[in-house]
Chain A
Amino acid sequence: MTEKKNDIKETQDPAKTEASAEKQAKKEVPAEKQEKKGASAEKPKAKPKPKKNPRAKLFKSERMTIVAPAPHAKGKQSVPRIMYTVIIALLPAVAASIFFFGTRAMVTLMVAVFSAMVAEFACNKIMKTGVTIDDGSAILTGLLLAMTLPPTFPVAATALGAVIAIVFGKQVFGGLGANIFNPALIGRAFLQASFPVKITTWTLPAFASSSAYFDIATSKAVDTVSGATPLGLWKFEGIGTHLKPLLFGNIGGCIGETSALALLAGGIVLLILKYADWRIPLSYIGTVFLFSGALWLIDPSRYPDPLFMILSGGLILGAFFMATDMVTSPVTPLGTWIYGIGMGVMLVVIRLWGGLPEGVMYSILFMNGLVPLLNRWTRPKYFGEIQEESKKK
C-alpha cells in the first residue's frame, strides 16, 4: 500500500503560524519521498527542502494521517488465525492418539512438528523470504504428517518426512499459498515410497482387545490379531472390525486416523467457523458412502459395508483436515463438488480394486493436481450473466 503522511490540521493563529512555520515545515516530508512504504514515514525526521516545497504553505503540518486506498475497514480473519484454529481443531484427535498409543505417539508428533519448523526456518533463510514460521502453516504441516504415520515410525524417518514435506511440498513452489499438493501428504508419499515396510508396521493401542475384530466369514471374534489396520485386515485377511471401536479409536492404525469421534469433533468446529468448506467432507464422504454402499448392496460378502469404509482408515482425517486445505482445494463451489466426488470415487477404487488397502492419500493428491484446472473450468457465472445469455436466445 502506498501511503502518504500529511498534516490535517490548519493552524488558526497567523502569528503562531509565522513563528512555527519553519519548525512545521521541517516536519514536511516531500511528496515524492512519501510514496515509499509507510514505516519510514512514521518518523518524519525529514530531509526536507522545506522552503522550496510549494506545498509547505498548505501543509502546516501538525499531525500525520494515512492515505491509502479503500476499504478502510477490515474483517477479523487472518491467515495465522486460520492456521492456529485448524491446529486447535486437531487437538482432540491428538489427545486421543496419545491416549491410545502412549508417549511414543507424542514423540512422533513432536519430532514432525519440530522438524517442519526447522525446515521452514532454513528455507526462509536460504530463500531470503523473511521468517514465516509464526504463521502456523509449518506447524500444521508437521502435525498432519505425524497423524498419518504409524506410532512407532522411526524418529529419523519422521524428521526426514517433515523436511521433505516442507521443502518439496511447499517451499520449492514458493512458500505458503503457492503449492499445488498438500505438503503433509507429499511428505507421507515420500515416506511410503522410502520405507514401505516401516510405514505399514502397526501397533495396536494399549487397550485394544481382540473382540474388536471378527472374522467376516463366521462373524465370530478373532482371538489372535496381528497389529494391522482394519482396512488391511479386511483386505488381506478377510477380517472385519466392529464399528464401535472404529468410532472411538481402539484399533490399529496411524496416529491420527484411529478415533473418528475426536476427528469429527474438530472437523465440525472447522465447518462451523467456515475454515473448511462443508462441501468437501460432504461430497467426499458422501461419494464413498454411496459408491461403496451400492457395491455392498450388490454383493455384501465381497464388499465391506459403507460405514466401515467411512470409519476405517484415514478418510475422516483426510476429508476434514487434508482435503479441505485451502491452498490445495478449489475456490469455486462447483469445482469443490467435483473435487470431492472425484476423491470419493478414487478412494473406493483404490481400496477395493487397487493393490493398497488405503487410498486417502493418493485420492487427495491426485485431485490436488486437478485443482488449478477445476478453478479454471468452473468459473461462477457473474451476477447478471445468465440473463444476458437467455436474452440473446
Chain B
Amino acid sequence: MKLSTFKKGLHPEDYKYLSQDQAIETLPPPDDVYIPVQQHIGTPCEPLVKKGDRVKTGQIIADSSAYVSAPVHATISGTVKDISKYYHPLGMRETMIHIQRDGEEEWEYLEPIDDWKWTPKEKLLKTIRDAGIVGLGGATFPTHVKLAPPDDRAIDSFILNGVECEPYLTADDRLMVEEADKILLGMSIMMHILDVQKGYIGIENNKPGAIARMQKRVVELGYPFKMVPLKVKYPQGAEKMLIYSVLRRKVPCGKLPMDVGVVVNNVATAYAVAEAVTEAKPLIQRVITVTGDGVKQPKNLMARIGTPFKELFNVCGNVKDNVNRIFMGGPMMGMTQYHLESPVVKGSSGIVAVTGDLVEELTTFPCIRCGACVLACPMNLLPLRLSKFGQENMAGELEDYGVSNCIECGCCAFACPANIPLVQWIRVGKLRLREHQAKTAKEKA
C-alpha cells in the first residue's frame, strides 16, 4: 500500500527506539513546582493566589477573563511560596507560582458532567476551558477556542494528530499504545462538540504499536473513525502538512485549518479532554519523553506540570558527563535549555539531552545556491533568499517572497550543506518585516 504523505520535507534520523518501548511511568508529585502563569498562546493569566496561600491540586491559581486564554491550575497540594520570575523553558524569565508540597494530596475537581452526550455544548466547552486544556502537541493554542469555530466556517472533518514527526519524541506514541480508549473518547467528545461526522486518525508508519492498538480499539469499540497510516516524513505533524497528507486539502496562505473545514487536535489533547469531561480532572500533568543519547535511561514520564526538569533527569539516572545540548521538544524545533530549574509546561512533549556526536560545532560556508533548502521546504518557499533578505533587512523582498508563510520547521537548516542558520535568519526577517509594517502604518496614520 502506498502511504499517504505531503510534498517535500525530509526524514531525519528519528532515534525513537531509545524510548519507544518504555511504558509511561507516573512520577510522584514533586516537592516543589514552578507553574508559569502563561502556558498558552493568547492573553496571559493573572495570578489568583497570594504568597502563603494553601492550594489544592487542581485549584485554579491563575486565570484571565479574555476568551483566547486558558486557566492554570495548581498541580500539587501545598503552600504558595513565592510568585516571581523564574526561568521559563522558552528562554525568558516569566512570572511563575512556586508551590511547595505539604504532604497530603487534596483534589479540587471540576464541575462533574454526568453524560457528555446529553450535555449542552456550551457546558462542555466551558469544562474544557476550565480544565485549562491547550494544544498539547506544542503549539499550546487554547482548545476551547479551536473547538468553537465561527458559524460561517462549516467544519466537516476532524483529524486526530498522532504523527509525532519530531525525532526522539515518543510521548504521543506511548499514550496511544496505553490509553487508546481515552484518546478515542476524547476525540469523539471533540467531534460531538464540533458536530462533525468524519474523523481521521493520522499516525506515522514508524509507530506500528500505536497504529495496531488504535486500529484494534476503533474496531472493537465501533467508532466510525478512519485510520490513516502516513509515510514517515518531517514535518508531517504540522497542521497544514497533516491536512494535506490525510485529506489532500491545502490550507490557503494566511488562513487556518477551519477555512478548509478541518479541525486538527493532538492525541494528548484528546486524552486531556476525556479526563476533564469524564473524570472532572483539570490538566495538571502530561506525558513527557526524557530521552537522547545523553540520558542514561530514556523514559516516558507522566509528570505534573511545573516539575523542574532536573527532577525528570534524576528519575532517568541523570545526564551523562559528556552531554552538550539539552532541549525541550524535538531537535528540529525544540528550545535549548540553559537551566534545569525550568519547569515542565503544558507544551513540553519531551526533553532531550544529546552528546557531542549529533550536534558538533560546524563551520559555516557561503551559500552556494545548491537549492537543498528549496527542495526541503514543505511550504515551497525559497529559504536561501529569505535568509539573505532577513540579513540585509530588505522588507519589501521579504514580503514578496512570502516570509510570513514560513512555519519554522527547520528542514532548510537541516538540509543546508553550508550550515547556514537559515531558520534563525528567517525569524529575523519576520521580525524586520513586522517592524517595517508597523513603521509604514505609523507613517500613514
Contact = CB atoms under 8 A, between A and B. Distances in A.
B67 interface: no
A175 interface: yes
A384 B255 contact: yes
Contacts of B367: 177
A21 interface: no
A10 B308 CA distance: 11
A66 B250 CA distance: 38
Interface residues of A, number: 52
A67 interface: yes
Contact of B369 (A71, A175, A331, A391): A331
A235 interface: no
A71 B414 contact: yes
A135 interface: yes
A1 B414 contact: no
Interface string A268-282: 000000110100000
Contact of B417 (A1, A10, A79, A327): A79
B333 A71 contact: yes
Interface in A59-82: 59, 63, 65-75, 77-82
Given A58-B341, A82-B370, A66 B405 contact: no
B251 A73 contact: no
A52 interface: no
B310 to A, nearest CB: 5
Contact of A383 (B87, B167, B240, B324): B240
Interface string B370-411: 111011001111101100000000000000111001001010
Contact of B362 (A63, A69, A74, A327): A74
Given A375-B385, A382-B380, A73 B358 contact: yes
Contact of A65 (B324, B333, B380): B324
Contacts of B361: 38
A332 B374 contact: yes
A73 B369 contact: no
B219 to A, nearest CB: 34
B323 A65 contact: yes
B139 interface: no
Nearest to A38: B361
A175 B367 CA distance: 11
A218 B334 CA distance: 74
A375 B367 CA distance: 15
Nearest to A59: B339
B1 interface: no
Contacts of B13: 73
Contacts of A6: 338-339
A301 B314 CA distance: 85
A382 B365 contact: no
Contacts of B370: 82, 275, 326, 331
A244 interface: no
A381 interface: yes
Interface in B293-323: 310, 318-319, 321, 323
Nearest to B8: A383
Given A77-B417, A382-B253, A383-B379, A66 B368 contact: no
A9 interface: yes
Interface stretch (B109-117, B223-231, B419-427): B419-427
Nearest to B427: A69
A215 B337 CA distance: 77
Interface in A1-42: 1, 4, 6, 8-10, 38
B18 interface: no
Majority secondary structure of chain B interface residues (helix, strand, loop or mixed): loop
B419 A70 contact: no
Given A8-B326, A82-B417, A379-B382, A72 B365 contact: no
Interface centre among A58, A70, A274, A332 (most CB of B within 10 A): A70
A331 to B, nearest CB: 4
Contact of B358 (A9, A67, A72, A375): A72
A1 B420 CA distance: 9
Given A71-B423, A176-B368, A66 B341 contact: no
A70 B331 contact: yes
A75 B375 CA distance: 13
B52 interface: no
Given A59-B339, A71-B333, A66 B319 contact: no
A154 interface: no
Interface centre among A4, A72, A331 (most CB of B within 10 A): A72
A75 B340 contact: no
A82 B332 contact: no
B278 to A, nearest CB: 36
Contacts of B338: 4, 6, 8, 65, 67
B369 A384 contact: no
A87 to B, nearest CB: 15
A46 interface: no
A68 B257 CA distance: 31
A381 to B, nearest CB: 6
Contact of B334 (A72, A329, A379, A384): A72
Interface string B1-27: 000000100101100000000000000
A346 B331 CA distance: 47
A67 B334 CA distance: 11
Contacts of A74: 358-359, 362, 413-414, 419
A78 B418 CA distance: 6
Contacts of B382: 331-332, 375, 379-380
Contacts of B254: 388
B325 interface: yes
B417 A70 contact: no
Given A81-B417, A380-B380, A382-B402, A72 B354 contact: yes
A72 B362 contact: no
A75 B362 CA distance: 11
Contact of A72 (B10, B331, B371, B378): B331
Contacts of A331: 369-371, 374, 382, 384
Interface in A334-393: 375, 379-388, 391
6 contacts: A68-B359, A69-B421, A72-B334, A73-B13, A385-B252, A385-B402
Interface of A: 1, 4, 6, 8-10, 38, 58-59, 63, 65-75, 77-82, 135, 175-178, 274-275, 277, 326-327, 329, 331-332, 375, 379-388, 391
Given A68-B359, A326-B370, A384-B252, 14 more contacts: A1-B421, A8-B337, A9-B310, A73-B167, A77-B415, A77-B417, A79-B417, A175-B366, A177-B367, A274-B375, A331-B384, A382-B379, A383-B250, A385-B252
Report, nearest first, the 9 A-B pairs whose CB atoms are least far apart. Answer: A71-B410, A177-B366, A77-B417, A72-B331, A79-B365, A331-B371, A388-B252, A73-B331, A326-B370
Interface of B: 7, 10, 12-13, 87, 167, 240, 244, 250-255, 310, 318-319, 321, 323-327, 329, 331-341, 352, 354, 358-359, 361-362, 365-372, 374-375, 378-382, 384-385, 400-402, 405, 408, 410, 413-419, 421, 423-424, 427
